[in-house]
Amino acid sequence: MTAASPILSLQAVQKMFGPHAAVDSIDLDIAEGEFFTIVGPSGSGKTTLLRMLAGMDQPTSGNILLRGQYINNLPANKRPTCMVFQSLALFPHRTVGQNIEFPLKIRGEDPAKRKARALQLMDLLRLPQNYYSKNVMKCSGGERQRVALARALAYDPQILFFDEPLSAIDYKLRKTLEKELKDIHRETKKTFVYITHSLEEAMVMSDRIGVMRAGKLVQVGTPHEIYSSPNTRFVSEFVGDVNVIPVSLGSKNLLKSGLAPKGLKPPRVPEGFENGHLVIRPEYLRFLAKAGDADNALTGRLYNEYALGSRIQYQVRVGDTVFVVEKLRQQPFTGKLDDDVIIGWDAKDAILVTD
């Protein structure tokens, strides 16, 4: 993604509810044309942050700037933005076309121009043109999602905000719509600001991701950076399956761990690191013929296996700790349950985090 000027800037933005900081001193720039996703567990503050960006709430302190202009007190209907809600908020007794045309009707657009624009957006959103006169409640969940997005685009907003719009949709359709949203973002070149509790969803669509915890943005980066270089244990565990070993820095540049009395060879050690966790993604763990075949090795018992489509995950118990090893289906492991196995990883494939 090429560099672009910020369309939205947050400067020490805070939102208080009594003594509680739902959003706590956030600084952030969102580039024009960017697909920026805010992720976090329930109660992390992501919805409160989105509502302030959209103009539905005002910050208690700090500033929000749109193209360099302060908009803290500018109401939502005066901003060049639009929200796609989780509930979709479609008009149930109107047709697909009437729903899409609604913002154009409010502006007083000519009926012929409204219809032409609605049909254009239906093509973009892969809705058949014969749906124009179809009652919106007779559409499927995925089709109604597309209608809501077409209506939002009819406003021709500079920024589209999305409040977990795919959370109530079944898995297969959600995967399809994630790809379609990314395609639509590329075609429209609009700025998308999206919130979700699913980092997997964010990884598919986003240019950058901001991870929230307890009102703070704890890490902002590209999907690759968030996945490969998490800065805390919280971020690493929020991104799918992960193996975590409590460790401390020992002598001879080894990590002390109760699982490996002789120590573990570390990856790059952050400056000032003393105690923390060693993080290894399941795809970087592998079964070994002998301990010397990797920088680090542990002996355990093959406890279970799970078929996950193109991947297979294996559970290996090392003492009271369960490790997850992941392999592609075309590279299966021939061991049997309850076999003693050796698992290992190379130092460069692990991450040290302090939290």
Strand-pairing partners, residue 343, are 287, 298
pLDDT of residue 2 exceeding 70, the answer is no
pLDDT, average across residues 3-22: 91
Q: Which domains does the chain have, with CATH numbers?
A: 6-233 (3.40.50.300), 241-353 (2.40.50.140)
Please tell me whether residue 308 adopts helix, strand or coil conformation: strand
- pLDDT above 60: residue 1: no
pTM of the model: 0.87
The predicted-structure confidence for 56-95, as pLDDT tens digits, reads as follows 999 999 999 999 999 999 998 889 998 888 777 899 999 9
At 239, the pLDDT band (50, 70, 90 cuts) reads confident
Is pLDDT of 34 > 80?
yes
Tokens in use for 316?
């290996």
Say whether pLDDT at 4 is over 70.
no
- Of the pLDDT bands very low, low, confident and very high (cuts 50, 70, 90), residue 158 is very high
In our burial notation (b when 16+ CB lie closer than 10 A, e otherwise), range 225-256 reads ebbeebbbbbbbebbeebbbbebebeeeebbb
Q: How far apart (Å, rounded) are the C-alpha atoms in residues 336 and 333?
A: 9
Which are the contacts of 262, defined by CB distance < 8 A and separation ≥ 6? 254
272 CB-near residues (< 8 Å, 6+ apart): none
Residue 106 has pLDDT above 50, yes or no: yes
pLDDT at 193: 96
Helices (H), 22-170: 46-54, 96-106, 111-124, 141-154
In the structure, what pLDDT confidence band is assigned to residue 30 with cuts at 50, 70 and 90?
Answer: very high
| Residue 278: both structure tokens together | 């060693």
Which sign, positive or negative, has the C-alpha torsion 167, 173, 175, 178? negative
Q: Are 136 and 90 in contact (CB under 8 A)?
A: yes
Q: Read off the pLDDT of residues 310-321 as tens digits, 9 standing for 90 and up.
A: 899 999 999 999
d(CA 22, CA 16): 6
Arithmetic mean of pLDDT over the chain: 91
Q: Where are the beta strands (DSSP E) in 96-250?
A: 159-163, 191-196, 208-213, 216-221, 243-249
For the segment 192-202, the average pLDDT, to the nearest whole number, is 90
Provide the pLDDT for residue 329.
Answer: 87
> Is the pLDDT confidence value at 3 over 70?
no
Structure tokens at 207: 């240019």
* Reported confidence tier of residue 178, pLDDT bands at 50, 70, 90: confident
pLDDT, tens only, 241-289: 899 999 999 988 899 999 998 899 999 888 888 999 999 999 999 999 9
What angle do helix axes 141-154 and 96-106 make, rounded to 10 degrees? 20
Query: Is there a contact between 114 and 120 (Cβ–Cβ < 8 Å)?
Result: no
pLDDT(325) > 80: yes
Query: Does 331 score more than 90 pLDDT?
Result: no
Q: Is there a contact between 29 and 6 (Cβ–Cβ < 8 Å)?
A: yes
